[in-house]
């Protein structure tokens, strides 16, 4: 397992559509963690270029994350009403599969160390084909039931996404009420009690002591998103960076994409959350020009400020330095806690 070979038990969460860059992934992997190329929303060609850029920067292993396509079928009337509410700047809502087959074909031809999946679990055949090509396959799950499906499909490791995590919930089906919303620590203990695979929790793990916590609870490594969003290697928008450094509350919303995701509360969320339908990626395409314009003018009230609940603890350090500090901080926290218990 790649996880056994890392110098530091730290995986950089793929952050599609914003902060992730090949430079960030390469810096984390080169420092002895595991970087990820966020291929979601990217065309197969851009994914290929991103992978080439990471390969040019480091010989260390890294991962690629893909979105599992959902269903084109949505409540068309609710979707039309929502697009109307968004106003004349809205784009055309439409379904797409995020280049699924082309991305898989590319990854079979030119395998990377790890291929991870979000929004579902690929079939056992797809998992087997990637493993045959030489990759480990990781699945993102949010419940013990999803963890069993991923195990049965042949996954090599599970990313356990807690409700604290920023960005999209990785639920397989985006249940209407959002589902139970297990925290990362709870999900870790529930899954560890029944499934014998390496577990990589994510959500709210932003400093050394939180990393120590999940390692103590049995995690093989932690998957950190918000922690890396202020790194100079990340392409996080300046307005987004400023919001992350405050204690602004986060909330779950479908307003931006039609799928539940956690971000810092802003005016766009307050205006639209109550009316946003379950319609992904349809709504994501509809809001795309609105979000792009707000990013351009650095307006924090106009686009998605994805952030985990502990975003205020993120630090603006170069990624390699951050990886080393988080790892050292975790070890110190573990040793101190063990010493207190044995006093």
The CA-atom distances, in angstroms, between 283 and each of 26, 290, 292 are 32, 11, 14
CB of 148 to a copy of itself, least distance (A): 11
Among 211, 231, 213, 232, which residue's Cα sits nearest to residue 222?
211
Per rule CB under 8 A, is residue 229 in the interface with a copy of itself? Answer: no
Using the contact rule CB under 8 A, the part of the chain among 48-56, 102-110, 282-290, 306-314 near a copy of itself is 306-314
CB of 326 to a copy of itself, least distance (A): 12
CA distance 213 to 211: 5
- CB–CB of 197/238 below 8 Å? no
Which residue lies nearer to a copy of itself by CB, 5 or 123? Answer: 5
The CA-atom distances, in angstroms, between 320 and each of 146, 170, 211, 334 are 33, 27, 16, 22
Which residue lies nearer to a copy of itself by CB, 2 or 215? Answer: 215
Choosing from 163, 222, 279, 320, the residue that interacts with a copy of itself (CB under 8 A) is: 163
Which residue lies nearer to a copy of itself by CB, 136 or 207? Answer: 207
Per rule CB under 8 A, is residue 309 in the interface with a copy of itself? Answer: yes
DSSP string computed for 88-155: TT--------TTHHHHHHHHHHS--SEEEEESS---HHHHHHHHHHT-EEEEEESSHHHHHHHHHHT-
Using the contact rule CB under 8 A, the part of the chain among 37-45, 64-72, 230-238, 330-338 near a copy of itself is 330-338
Identify the three-state secondary structure at position 164: coil
x/- binding map, residues 239-268, to a copy of itself, per CB under 8 A? --------x-xxx-----------------
Choosing from 217, 242, 245, 317, the residue that interacts with a copy of itself (CB under 8 A) is: 217
CB of 206 to a copy of itself, least distance (A): 7
Per rule CB under 8 A, is residue 31 in the interface with a copy of itself? Answer: no
Element (H, E) at 60: none
Choosing from 57, 78, 113, 216, the residue that interacts with a copy of itself (CB under 8 A) is: 216
The CA-atom distances, in angstroms, between 7 and each of 24, 60, 292 are 17, 11, 38
Per rule CB under 8 A, is residue 148 in the interface with a copy of itself? Answer: no
Q: Characterize the bridge pairing of strands 261-264 and 250-253.
A: antiparallel
Using the contact rule CB under 8 A, the part of the chain among 49-57, 64-72, 88-96, 160-168 near a copy of itself is 160-168
Q: Characterize the bridge pairing of strands 261-264 and 167-168.
A: antiparallel
> Would you tell me which residues interact with a copy of itself (CB under 8 A)?
9, 144, 162-164, 177, 179-186, 189-190, 192-193, 203-207, 209-210, 212-218, 247, 249-251, 308-310, 312-313, 327, 330-331, 333-335, 337-338, 340-342
């Amino acid at each position: 397992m790649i996880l056994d070979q890392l110098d530091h038990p730290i995986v950089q969460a793929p952050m599609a559509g914003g902060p992730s860059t090949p430079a960030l992934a390469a810096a984390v992997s080169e420092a002895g963690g595991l970087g990820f190329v966020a291929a979601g929303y990217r065309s197969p060609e851009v994914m290929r270029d991103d992978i080439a850029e990471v390969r040019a920067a480091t010989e260390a292993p890294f991962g690629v994350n893909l979105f599992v396509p959902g269903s084109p079928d949505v409540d068309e009337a609710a979707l039309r009403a929502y697009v109307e509410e968004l106003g004349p700047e809205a784009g055309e809502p439409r379904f797409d599969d995020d280049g699924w087959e082309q991305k898989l074909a590319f990854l079979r031809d030119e395998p990377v160390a790890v291929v991870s999946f979000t929004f579902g679990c690929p079939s056992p055949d797809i998992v087997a084909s990637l493993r045959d090509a030489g990759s480990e396959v990781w699945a993102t799950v949010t419940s013990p039931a999803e963890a069993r499906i991923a195990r049965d499909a042949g996954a090599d490791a599970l990313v356990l996404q807690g409700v604290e995590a920023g960005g999209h919930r990785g639920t397989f089906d985006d249940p209407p009420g959002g589902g139970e919303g297990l925290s990362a620590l709870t999900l870790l203990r529930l899954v560890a009690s029944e499934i014998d695979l390496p577990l990589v929790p994510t959500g709210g793990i932003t400093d050394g002591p939180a990393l120590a916590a999940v390692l103590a609870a049995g995690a093989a490594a932690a998957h950190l998103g918000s922690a890396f969003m202020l790194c100079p290697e990340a392409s996080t928008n300046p307005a987004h960076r400023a919001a992350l450094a405050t204690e602004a509350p986060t909330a779950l919303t479908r307003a931006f994409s039609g799928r539940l995701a956690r971000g810092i509360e802003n005016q766009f969320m307050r205006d639209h959350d109550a009316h946003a339908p379950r319609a992904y990626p349809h709504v994501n395409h509809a809001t795309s020009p609105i979000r792009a314009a707000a990013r351009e003018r650095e307006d924090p009230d106009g686009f998605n400020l994805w952030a985990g609940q502990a975003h205020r603890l993120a630090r603006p350090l170069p990624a390699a330095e951050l990886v080393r500090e988080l790892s050292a901080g975790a070890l110190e926290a573990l040793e101190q806690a063990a010493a207190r218990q044995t006093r």
